[in-house]
Amino acid sequence: MKADIYYFSATGNSLTTAKMLADCLGDGSQCIPVASLPKTGTINIAADAVGFVFPVYYGDMPYILREAVGRMNFSGSPYIFCVPTYRGHQGAAAQRLNQLLRSHGQKLSLSWGVPMPGNSRLSSPEETAQMLSLQPERVREAAKHISAMEVSDYDSPEPLEPTMVDKPGNFRGIKADENCTGCGLCVNVCPMDNISLQDGHAQMGDNCITCLSCFHWCPVEAIYMSLDESIARRFKYRHPDVKPEDISAQKGQN
């Protein structure tokens, strides 16, 4: 099956999942970073099979994906699937994506999640190692069901309530402390261009989608969540097969 796979990734879980999935589906399937899509205007989608790979935040999709899908114009009635990556559970991410697609005359045909180490919720070293070792197998399983073009029902009887991440906002109080060296890595990996350097110190704005990319990739661990005490300075997680330049490259040239 040839599919266009749109993905967003902060720490590499969804990036590696999307690439594995494209390899499994074959037939010229390609991965397209959502952060590289035009920031304004209609996004025309012509593929016969369209996939979305993304991390689950608060039982929802990341805002950057929500906003992009909201501007998509689909040609015909493609087979649409998603492969959420998640630490705890998928929540209503599939139903929320389906609801958004329905508003554009489309529907989600299949959702098949892949459990991965959390970048918010904590995973033990043992859990992390196990999830990473099982990732290829679980992606192959997802590809099998997608290739068969299986269909499930993701319609919700009632409209779903908004979540904390359905719009930008720095509700976790992400900021850089006095250890910030002004290296600019957080500026590069932020998908929303929400971080700037002022007098050699990282400054976060309010156009934050709480992806925690800046938090996990900071080389001196100067970035923390000032309003989220339980995980304010939790240990950093990055997928072992991903480098910071892989994350920053998602933005491409807009």
Q: Which residue ranges make up each domain of the chain? A: 4-147, 174-251
pLDDT at 254: 46
Residue with tokens 């994906």: 65
Span 50-77, mean pLDDT? Answer: 97
Give the SS3 label for residue 10: coil
Condensed to tens digits (0 to 9), the pLDDT of residues 94-116 reads 999 999 999 999 999 999 999 99
pLDDT at 253: 53
pLDDT at 11: 98
For all residues of the chain together, what is the average pLDDT? 96
With cut-offs at 50, 70 and 90, classify the pLDDT of residue 157.
Answer: confident
Give which of 52, 234, 9, 45 is closest to 142, Cα–Cα.
52
User: What would the two tokens of residue 233 be?
Assistant: 């300075």
Asked if residue 215 has pLDDT above 90, the reply is yes
CA distance 11 to 119: 7
Give the SS3 label for residue 137: helix
174-251 topology per CATH: Alpha-Beta Plaits (3.30.70)
CA distance 109 to 152: 6
Structural domain 4-147, CATH architecture? 3-Layer(aba) Sandwich (3.40)
DSSP 48-100: SEEEEEEE-BTTB--HHHHHHHHTEEESS--EEEEEEEESS--TTHHHHHHHH
Condensed to tens digits (0 to 9), the pLDDT of residues 12-58 reads 999 999 999 999 999 999 999 999 999 999 999 999 999 999 999 99
